[in-house]
Structure 1
Amino acid sequence: MNTLRQFQMWRALDHVLGGKPPATRFESKREQLQPNNSSTPQPVKQIPVLEGLSDKEVRREFMREGRPVVLKGKATDWRCVQEWSMEWLKRHYGNDRVDIFDPLDYDSKEVNYDVEVTTLSTILDAMEHGDTSKYSRFNRLLYDHPELVEHFDWEWLHQMRSTWSSGKTYQVFIGGQGTRTSLHCAGEHNLFTQVHGKKHWYFIEPKADPWLNPPVSRTPYFYSMFDPECPDYESYPGMAATQIWECTLEPGDVLFNPPFWWHQVRNITPSIGVGFRWFDLVDNLATNATGTALTLMATKPPIWTATKHRTDFAAIFKHMQSKS
């Protein structure tokens, strides 16, 4: 058994058995995998940005291959892109309850489990004053107001799933200029529609798992303290030889974000984006078999609990801080 397979085996075992982070059983294998010589960091490459692809081409060349792509202008004519704005949200849905949470904090180097309950108007007002602490992630807008699904080409979104896929989840992200989400990955496919404003993404391939040193947390949500905006190659030497990708989304763009690709996101302007997520076991195993196993063996929460609460990430978040 090669060193990488041993590393992944020990990582999976720690995921099941638990232990005080950082886990220790696979650290020696990680050290063996580190490059022997220092590497010059590679220039960041651009994610493909393409127009006019057929659905068949998107599935064959990107979804089945587990590669990200930006479908330029795919949603330009959708009602959400034509009508939605911060003022529109405030006028129609300003009184909606919103749960705010930011799991990752580069300053503290720890997971933050605090959840703040507020209203959408409060977030939008804070955005106008440059408050980057107010970022609505995984907003339930399309579940609290299901008529808004009609503002998307939901038939196209649904048909892009394979016949053996499970789940259909809409998640809205509303944030001001400068708000961001730190490096993380999860085991779902995501067709992300940029509705309003501009959003920048960094991507790192799943094979970089050993270099990113993700803590063993027994959750289906994986994170790393590596920051592609300000890379620390001394703490993460393997990342110097690892390719980093990026793209910038504009209104009407649709991004395919494959399962287990690490990504970090920053809003360049006030931004509204909507992710459409689903789970595909066959594609997941092909992309990252270890990540798929860790997802299925998660206990904080178990996969069936995460599926039950898939439209309410705040509920999933509460399970993630449990001691089970």
Structure 2
Amino acid sequence: AMGGPPRAPFSERTSAVWVSSAGCVTPLHFDLCHGLLSQLHGHKRVLLIAPEHSRSLYRDTGVGVNVNTSPVDLPRWLFGRGADADRHRELFPQVRSVVGEVYECVLGPGDTLYTPPFWWHHVTTLGCDPGGGGGAGEMDGGTCSSVSLLLAFDPTAEESAHPCVDDD
């Protein structure tokens, strides 16, 4: 056998601990790898959209920009009220076609979410209160933190890249 033992699917390189407070956001994006997000403390809301809808999500294509991201503020587009939200919807009208295709998941302590490669996702830290109110937490003197563990692993050689990575 050439090259020694197979590479382990998980390593320090593909693992992370996320500590955030209520209101922190990871903008709409997709990853090229599989991901397991385990919630250890507090709550997070994850909005997911299948890669088939990439054309409607205004994927960034500029030079020097992470091309796996979108400028769409998905919660504002879906749930926002008032003139600011209306302007956002006017700026990104194609998002309307995916409204019924958005999956929402609220993670609490002990929950794990699997995110397949190329699935778009937007993450909002809700704090200790799954309703998004923040809530008081014993971890940080009253302002509840969220603590999550991310384990990411690369697709196997048998898995093909999704067409969304070539989507212009």
Task: Report if TM-score (shorter chain) is over 0.5.
Answer: yes
Deviation at 1:274, TM superposition (A): 0.8
Among 72, 91, 110, which residue is 1:226 paired with?
Answer: 72
Larger relative contact order (CA 8 Å, sep ≥ 6): 2
User: Counterpart in 2 of 1:279?
Assistant: 154
Larger strand percent: 2
For residues 176-191 of structure 1, the aligned pairs below 5 Å read 176-191=21-36
* Contact 1:206 1:261 (C-alpha < 8 Å) held by counterparts: yes
The reply on whether 1:238 has 2:94 as its aligned counterpart is yes
For residues 188-199 of structure 1, the aligned pairs below 5 Å read 188-199=33-44
CA distance in 2, matches of 1:247, 1:225: 21
Tell me the matched-pair count. Answer: 129
**Structure 1: stretches of 5+ with no match in the other structure:** 1-162, 295-324
**What SS is found at the alignment partner of 1:234?**
helix
Deviation at 1:233, TM superposition (A): 3.0
Deviation at 1:220, TM superposition (A): 6.4
* Contact 1:184 1:263 (C-alpha < 8 Å) held by counterparts: yes
Structure whose alpha-carbon radius of gyration is higher: 1
CA distance in 2, matches of 1:215, 1:276: 25
Alignment CA distance shift 1:164-1:253 (3 Å): same
Give the partner amino acid of 2:41.
H
User: Counterpart in 2 of 1:268?
Assistant: 126
The reply on whether 1:289 has 2:135 as its aligned counterpart is no
* Contact 2:16 2:149 (C-alpha < 8 Å) held by counterparts: yes
CA distance in 1, matches of 2:52, 2:7: 25
Alignment CA distance shift 1:241-1:164 (3 Å): farther
For residues 135-214 of structure 1, the aligned pairs below 5 Å read 168=11, 169-214=14-59
CA distance in 2, matches of 1:256, 1:205: 13
Give the partner amino acid of 1:223.
T
Deviation at 1:249, TM superposition (A): 0.3
Moved over 3 A (4+): 163-168, 217-221, 281-284
Deviation at 1:265, TM superposition (A): 0.7
* TM score, norm. by length of structure 2: 0.67
Percent of aligned positions that are identical = 26
